[in-house]
Structure 1
Amino acid sequence: MYCTGATSITCESSSNDKTIETTVKAGTRKLENILIRRIFMKIGGIQSPGHYWIEIIHDDEDETDDFIKEAREQKLTEKQFISMNKECTKANGFRESYGWYPDDGRWDGWANFKGNGFLNGDCNYRIKKDKEHNLFHTEEREAGRRNHQKKDDKHQEKNHLSIRPFDPHQHGRFHEDEIDFTTHPYLLPDDSRTEEQVIEEIRDFAAKFEDEWSYKRHGYNETCCHTFVFLLLASCNLADPDCIGAQKDPYFKEYKNNLKKRFKNQNNNEAEKKFYQRHCMTEQLHDISRLAQAK
C-alpha cells in the first residue's frame, strides 16, 4: 500500500500473521504478501539453532491435489508417496518460502559449524530423514524443496510435494507461537517496482545463491540462514524498518559490526572480496531500513 499525505503512518499487523505494528515514513510501501520470519537462537535447556527465512503468500496456497488428500488420509510415508511419481498441479498447503540450510555438516572448534549449503535444505541427507514420516504440510520437516514445478522444462528436477519451493519451517504459519518475529519488507518512496516484480527478484536471488553453510558466532566470514536473508533483502533493495531499522535484530547488529571491523579500510585481498561486498550490502540494508522509519 502507498502511505501518502502525512509525515508518517502506523501500519497495523496482518490479521493472519503475528506481525508487529510500526510507524514508517510517508510514501513508504509495505509489501503485504511477503514476510520476513525469524526464530531466534535459544541456549540453555533445549538448544535450538533458530532460523530465518522469507515467505510469499498466495491466495491458492491451500488448494490441494486429490491424490495428495488421499495420501494424507491413508497416512502414507513420504517414501511411499514419492514412489507413486505423481504430478503436482497445486500448492498442496506448502507456502512458497526460501531459507538456507546445511547438510549433516561438521563442527570445527567451539561454535564453528560448517557444511554444504542447500536452498530450503533440499538435499539427499535431509530428504532421507523425512522418508519414514507421514506427508503433512502442517508439521516441521528436515527438507523443503527448491524447485518450482515447470511442466515445460524437461530438465527440471521434480518437486513431488508442491508446485512451489518451500522452506521446511513454512509450517510455522500453523504454529505462530513458534515464530519469534515476523515483519514485512518495505519499498522506499522513490521505488516504483510492483510487489510481483520484487517477488520475481526474490526467486531469482534464491535460485542463484550458492555457498557453504557456516556458523562462526556471527563472524564476518559465516554464511548461515541469517546471512542468506540479509543478503536477499539487500540484493532486492528491501527495507526492514520494523526489525533491522529498529535495531531489534541482535544477529544483524553483530554480523554488521564484525564485517565493519574487518573492512574498516577497504581490503583488496581477492580471497575476501566476497565478504567486502557483503559488508557493503549490510551497510546498505541498515541504511535503507533506517530511512524507511518515520523521523
Structure 2
Amino acid sequence: MGAFDGQNVIIDIMGKTYNNPNDHYDYGIYTKVKDGARKLDNIVLSRIFITVKSITQIDPGHYWIEIIHQDEDETDEFMEKARKDRLAEKDLPKLNGICKKANGFRESYGWYPDDAVLFGSGLSNFLKGNGFLNGDCELRKQDDMDHRLSNTEERNAGRREENNDLSIRPFDAHQNGRFHPDKIDVTTNPYLLPGDSRTDEQIIAEIRDFAKSFKDVWSYNLNSFDETNCHTFLYLLLATCNLADPDCIGKDLDPYFLAYKTSLNGKKNLNSKYEERKELINKLSELSKNI
C-alpha cells in the first residue's frame, strides 16, 4: 500500500514476497520518492557482493541488470527434448536446432573477464584481463561444454548477441539467479525521474545500446577510480540511461559504489575517460539520492 504526504509518495514494500521464480525478491526496503517518479518493475538490478571465505577462497560476486519479458519461459521443442534427455552444451551441434524462443534465459547484461586474469604491477590494476559482455568468450564457453542445457543453473558464459545458439535474447551468465534468490544479496528496480516520459521500450533500447557498445578491459583494483568491472558497468549504464537507484545507491547500501565514487572524486588531473566517469558517477549518486 502507498501513502501520500503532499509532496512524496511513500511506497511500502515491507513483507512483500514472490512465490514465482520469475519474480525478484524485495528485501524489506522502504522507498520514498518524489511524486511522478516511476518504478520500472520489468527491470531488475541484481548484486552479489564479494565474499572472502579464506585467504585462498574468494567468491568474486557479480552485478548485472535484467529485463523481464512475458514470453521468456517459452521453450523450443528441440530444447525441451534436449533438457529432458539431459544433454550438455557440447551436444548442441548435432541437435540442428534454431532458437525461435527465449528458452527460459532472461535478457540480461553484465561485464566479465575471460578468466585469463593477470596480476598487475606498480600503478597498474591489481587484477586485469580482457573484458567481455555477459562473459561471452571462447575460454568461458569451453568451460561450459559439459554443463547441461539448463537455464536454471549457473554458467561460465552467457551470450552477448540476439538469436544465439541458446536463446533469441542476450543473457548474463548469472541470469539463473531468479531461480536461486537466496544467493543474491540485493535486488532493486531502477526509477525514472518525474517528468521523464520515455516508454519502457525506449528505455530497454537504450540499455541494449549501452551494453552492446561498451568496450574496455576487465579490471579490479580495490574499487579504485581506474578499474572496470561488473560494478563499473552497471553504474555507468544507469547513469548513461538516466536511471536512478534509490533503494541501494540512494541509501548508501552499495559499499563498492561509495568507495569507487570516493576514489574518483579524490583524484585530480584525470584523463578524459575517467573525468567522464567521474561526472556520470556523481550524476548517478545525485539522481538516486534526490529522486
Q: What's the TM-score, normalizing by structure 1?
A: 0.89
Mapping of residues 206-285 of structure 1, within 5 Å: 206-263=211-268, 267=269, 272-285=271-284
Query: For residue 52 of structure 1, what is the aligned residue in structure 2?
Result: 63
Partners of 2:68 and 2:255 in 1: how far apart?
27
Does 2:176 match 1:176? no
C-alpha separation in 1, matches of 2:37 and 2:257: 22
Counterpart residue identity of residue 258, structure 1: S
In the other structure, the counterpart of 1:29 is 38
Per the TM alignment, residue 78 of structure 1 is displaced from its structure 2 partner at its CA by: 0.2
Whole-angstrom CA distance in 2 between matches of 1:85 and 1:208: 31
Deviations for 1:16-64, whole angstroms, at most 9, x for unmatched residues? Answer: 3112332222211000100000000001344200100000001111100
Residue equivalent to 1:126: 140
User: Taking structure 2 as the reference length, what is the TM-score of the superposition?
Assistant: 0.90
**Which position in structure 1 is the counterpart of 2:202?**
197
Quick check: 1:17 aligned with 2:31? Answer: no
Which residue does 1:153 correspond to in 2? none
User: Over residues 39-92 of structure 1, what are the superposed CA-to-partner deviations in whole Å (9 max), with x where a residue is unaligned?
Assistant: 000013442001000000011111000000111111111011134342100000
Contact 1:85 1:160 in 2 (8 A): no
The residue type paired with residue 274 of structure 1 is: K
Between 45-54 and 56-65, report the one with greater CA deviation: 45-54
- Unmatched segments (≥5 aa) in structure 1: 150-158
Runs ≥4 in structure 1, deviation > 4 angstroms?
A: 2-6
Counterpart in 2 of 1:74?
A: 85
* Structure 1 residue 94, shift from structure 2 partner: 0.3
Q: In structure 2, list runs of 5 or more residues that go unmatched.
A: none
Where 1:97 maps in the other structure, the secondary structure is strand
Question: Alpha-carbon deviation of 1:146?
Answer: 0.4
- Residue of structure 1 in register with 2:160 after alignment: 146
Aligned residues: 276
Percent identity among equivalent residues? 54
Q: Distance in 2 between matches of 1:147 and 1:3?
A: 43
Q: Distance in 1 between matches of 2:110 and 2:94?
A: 26
Distance in 2, matches of 1:53 and 1:77, equals: 25
